[in-house]
Amino acid sequence: MEAPGGASPLSPALVGRLRQEHEKVVTSCQEKIQHWKKVESDYDALQERLRTLPDKLSYDIMVPFGPLAFMPGKLVHTNEVTVLLGDNWFSKCSAKQAVALVEHRKKHVRKALDDLQKVMKNFESRVEFTEDLQKMSDAAGEFVDIREEIEDDSIETKGKYRTAHKPHSKPKVSNVFEVDFPANGSDTKSMGRFQSEEELWARLEELERQEEILGELDRMPDTVETNGEDTTSSEEEKEEKRTDLNGTYRTEDCITQGSFHREVTNSDLFGGQVNGSTYYHSDDEDDIDVGDSSVPTIFFSHTVEPKRVRINTGKNTTLKFSEKKEEAKRKRKNSNGNGHATPELPNIKTPADIYRVFVDVVNGEYVPRKSILKSRSRENSVCSDTSENSAAEFDDRRGVQRSISCDEATQSDNSEGILEEEEEEGQQQLPKKHPPSSGTTEAFSGTVIEKEPLSPSLIPHPVIAHPVLPTILERKSEEVLSEASEETTKRISKFKAARMQQTN
C-alpha cells in the first residue's frame, strides 16, 4: 500500500474514484438483480397459471381489444399453448410441457441471479477495501507497511529439485524398465513397483542369478538321471531324458508361477553339481556364485572360433556357428553330467577346451562327435539354431553353458555325449513345446550380449510375456532365419539385457 516514508501511489482522489466505480458496479448489479427478480416472478406467475389452466375445461375471461377495450369471452382449449421459442417462432404444446419450458427458463434466470449476486458481493467487498484504503491514505500515520524481503535461495529450491533429475542416466533407466515391464509383466509381478533404482538393480541381479540357477537346475536333474543311465552307451538317450525332464520341470515351474522361486530352491539343492567338481549340497553358496561368474558371455565369444577350427579339422566340416555352439554346450553338459561319475580335468576353461577334452578323452574314436553333428545337421539343416530340434538342444545348452562358464564343470564323459546325439534325433519334438514355457535361461546369452548393442531397439519389442524374449531377439539379429526363436527364448535373462541396454 502506501509506504509511510515514500510518496503513496494512492492519492485520495484516485481512491475515491475507484470506490465510486465499484459502487457503480454494485448499483448496476442491484438493478439487474431487481430486473431478473421481476422476470422470475413473472415466470412464477405464468407457471402457476399454466399449472392450473388445464384444471377447467373453459374459463370466462375478458378478451382484450387493444390496450383499453375488452369484451367478455371464453377461454377454451385450455391445454393448448403456443410457446414463443424466440425469433417469432412458436411451438404448440400442452400446458404441462409449457410448464416444463418455463421451469427451464427459470433455471436460467436463477443462474443469472446467482451470478449477479456474486458479482455484487465481490464488488461490495472491493468497495469496503477501497474505503479502508481511503482511510489509510487519509490518516497515513496509523498504518505502517511491514515489508520483509525474501531471499531468493528459498525460492530456488524448486529449481534445484528439478535439476536433480539428470536427463542422461536415470530417465533412461526408468524408460527402459517401463518398456520391459509390460512385455514381461506376467513373469515378474514383483518387478512392477520398484521405487528406487538401487532396489531395481538388486532385484535384477537376483533374478539373473535365479535364472542362472535355473539353467543349472535344468541340467542337473538331467545329469542325475543320466548318471543312472550312464551305463547305457548312447548319448542321445540321455539327451532325450534330459529334455523330457526339463519339459516336465518347466511345466511345473510355470504352474508354480514365475518359476523363479522354484528354481531358486532347486538351485540350492543342485548347486554343487553345477560346479562339477563338487556336487554336494554344502557347496550351494559357492555354486551360486560360480553360476554368476559362469554366465559371462566373454567365454562364448572366445569359444566360437576354436570350436570352428576344431570341428572342421576333426570330423564335422559343415557345422555352423550355432550348431557348433550347441554342440559345445552339449558336450559341456555331458561333461558336467558325467562329472559326477568321473570328476574330470579342471583344464577346461573355455568351451573350446571342453571340446578338445571331449574329443580326446572321452572317445578316441570321435564317434560321439559324428553322431552329434549328424543329428544337428539333420535337425538344423533348414535353419541352424532356430529349427525345432534346436529347442531341445536349447535346454541342454542352457545347462551346458552355465556349467561351461563355471569352468569347474569340465568333467566330460564321452558316453553321455553319444547318448544325447542319438536320442535327440528321436525325441526332439517334446523339447520344443517346453522351452518357451520353461523359465530356464540358455547359455546363448553370451552371444546375445555381443549383439545387443547392435540392435538395442529389438529388446523393447518383445511383447510376449516370456522373460526370455530379449534373447530371442538377439538370436534373430545373429541369425535371420530364426523361426523357432520363440522356442529358443530365454537365452539371456531379460534383466541382463535391459541392463546391458542401459549401459550401452
Partner 1 sequence: MSGRPPRQEEGESAKLRHKEELSRRIKEQKVVVDELSNLKKNRKVYRQQPNSNIFFLVDRTETLSQCKNTLDELKKAHQEMENSEKTKIKK
* Residue ranges that bind partner 1, judged by CB under 8 A: 19, 23, 27, 41-42, 45-46, 49, 59-64, 67, 70, 75, 127-128, 130-131, 134-135, 138
61 or 144: CB nearest partner 1 = 61
69-75/89-93 β-pairing: unpaired
CB of 91 to partner 1, least distance (A): 19
31 or 285: CB nearest partner 1 = 31
Pair 213, 492: CB distance under 8 Å: no
User: 440: which 3 cell numbers?
Assistant: 530356464
CB of 41 to partner 1, least distance (A): 8
139 or 164: CB nearest partner 1 = 139
Which residues are within 8 A (CB) of 463 and not within 5 positions of it... i.e. 6 or more apart? 183, 469
CB of 135 to partner 1, least distance (A): 7
130 or 338: CB nearest partner 1 = 130
64 or 453: CB nearest partner 1 = 64
CB of 45 to partner 1, least distance (A): 4
User: Which residues are 93's β-sheet partners?
Assistant: 81
Q: How far apart are CA 319 and CA 321, in angstroms?
A: 7
Pair 491, 326: CB distance under 8 Å: no
Report CA-CA distances (Å) from 285 to 172, 211, 272. Answer: 34, 15, 9
Q: Which of 261, 234, 262, 235 lies closest to 248, judged by CA?
A: 262
CB of 148 to partner 1, least distance (A): 29
CB of 162 to partner 1, least distance (A): 47
Report CA-CA distances (Å) from 255 to 190, 259, 285. Answer: 17, 8, 27
Residue listed under C-alpha cell 381489444:
65
CB of 80 to partner 1, least distance (A): 15
CB of 57 to partner 1, least distance (A): 14
7 or 69: CB nearest partner 1 = 69
- Angle (nearest 5°) at CA 471 between 296 and 433: 120
User: 466: which 3 cell numbers?
Assistant: 516370456
Question: What does the DSSP 8-state code read for residue 360?
Answer: I
User: 336: which 3 cell numbers?
Assistant: 558336467
CB of 13 to partner 1, least distance (A): 12
Residue listed under C-alpha cell 518359476:
259
Q: How far apart are CA 270 and CA 280, in angstroms?
A: 8
105 or 461: CB nearest partner 1 = 105
Break the chain down into helix, strand, coil percent, rounded to 5. 70, 5, 25
CB of 72 to partner 1, least distance (A): 8
Q: How far apart are CA 29 and CA 10, in angstroms?
A: 26
CB of 55 to partner 1, least distance (A): 12
135 or 189: CB nearest partner 1 = 135
127 or 449: CB nearest partner 1 = 127
CB of 130 to partner 1, least distance (A): 7
Pair 276, 410: CB distance under 8 Å: yes
Q: Which of 263, 445, 226 lies closest to 339, judged by CA?
A: 226
38 or 92: CB nearest partner 1 = 38
Report CA-CA distances (Å) from 439 to 21, 160, 253, 490. Answer: 79, 44, 7, 7
67 or 159: CB nearest partner 1 = 67
59-65/81-86 β-pairing: unpaired
User: 89: which 3 cell numbers?
Assistant: 417462432
23 or 229: CB nearest partner 1 = 23
CB of 23 to partner 1, least distance (A): 8
Q: How far apart are CA 82 and CA 106, in angstroms?
A: 18
Q: Quick one: which H or E segment has residue 200?
A: helix 197-229
Q: How far apart are CA 26 and CA 340, in angstroms?
A: 99
Q: How many residues does the chain have?
A: 504
Q: How far apart are CA 305 and CA 461, in angstroms?
A: 31
103 or 128: CB nearest partner 1 = 128
